[in-house]
Amino acid sequence: MAIEYFDDEEAGEYGGAPSVEVKTYSEDGRGSLDELYTEYLRLADEHGWEMETVFCQRDDIEDGALILPVFSFRTKRHGPALWIVSGIHGDEPEGPMALVEVLDRIGALGNTIPMVVVPLYNPKGYRRNSDSQSRLQQNEDVLKEYVLRRSDTHPPQMTLNIHGDMSGIPLEKRIAAHRAVLQTLPELWKRAQQRGGTPPWREGKGTSVVTDVPRGGGLM
């Protein structure tokens, strides 16, 4: 649905449903790209958020390529916003999957807090379980441009940049750790307001929260 496919002969002509099965690395039990996209799109379809494509990743496969969109969802409510960026590194599936588990909570939170959510920033890496380091620099530049462009309506006041470095721990537990952090968002946001957080380029007081949960941390 969200993934487009073209074969070599139609290269450059995006469109049509994929005619190939899109396989996602599954040895660690992660959800497929299709499953993730289907869930994320509910932020737009069921919670009324605005959706846009930040950019697309080309993922070459045999006899053709997949075009994988990187979606961003934002609330209709404008103002200093809570940003969530997840799935930058393809071998860290816990963030993208934890977001699925708390999707409806986040959707509801958007009724009171301006928010932007980029749930899966590196779908190609996720699909392949690789972080595609060489491509990431370019992608990070695209992200910076996007943040600046979107900051006219949703300037980031607090950013949750979800990573993970818990290889060796079952994915289910890693997801649970991030889910726990995500569930504290209303409280984290409230505290950021009390501190009078402002966008970092104005006064250097922006709040950045990275949900790298230390190995064996208290949330396990």
Interacting stretch for Zn ion, rule CB under 5 A, among 18-26, 90-98, 142-150, 178-186?
Answer: 90-98
Whole-number Å distance between alpha carbons of 189 and 193: 6
The encoded tokens of residue 220 equal: 């396990």
Residue holding tokens 């993970």? 164
Per-position DSSP letters for 133-163, written without gaps between them: HHHHHHHHHHHHHHHHHHTTT--EEEEEEE-
- Tell me whether strands 156-162 and 81-86 are parallel, antiparallel or unpaired: parallel
The encoded tokens of residue 100 equal: 């699925």
Contacts (CB under 5 A) with Zn ion, residues 47-66: none
Interacting stretch for Zn ion, rule CB under 5 A, among 9-17, 59-67, 91-99, 169-177?
Answer: 91-99
**Residue 59 or 92: which CB sits closer to Zn ion?**
92
Interacting stretch for Zn ion, rule CB under 5 A, among 75-83, 89-97, 103-111, 116-124?
Answer: 89-97
DSSP category for residue 40: H
Give the residue closest to Zn ion by C-beta: 163
Smallest CA-to-CA distance from 163 within 98, 70, 215, 89 is with: 89
**Residue 97 or 109: which CB sits closer to Zn ion?**
97
**Residue 34 or 131: which CB sits closer to Zn ion?**
131
Smallest CA-to-CA distance from 215 within 183, 177, 180 is with: 177
Our finding on whether 92 is near Zn ion (CB under 5 A) is yes
* Count of chain residues binding Zn ion (CB under 5 A): 3
Contacts (CB under 5 A) with Zn ion, residues 135-164: 163
Contacts (CB under 5 A) with Zn ion, residues 163-182: 163
Gyration radius of the chain over CA positions: 17
Q: How far is the CB of 127 from Zn ion (least distance, A)?
A: 16
**Residue 104 or 140: which CB sits closer to Zn ion?**
140
Q: How far is the CB of 130 from Zn ion (least distance, A)?
A: 12
Residue from 30, 74, 89, 150 in contact with Zn ion (CB under 5 A) = 89
Q: How far is the CB of 32 from Zn ion (least distance, A)?
A: 20
Whole-number Å distance between alpha carbons of 193 and 37: 32
Interacting stretch for Zn ion, rule CB under 5 A, among 22-30, 49-57, 81-89, 197-205?
Answer: 81-89
Whole-number Å distance between alpha carbons of 4 and 19: 9
Where along the sequence are the contacts to Zn ion (CB under 5 A)? Answer: 89, 92, 163
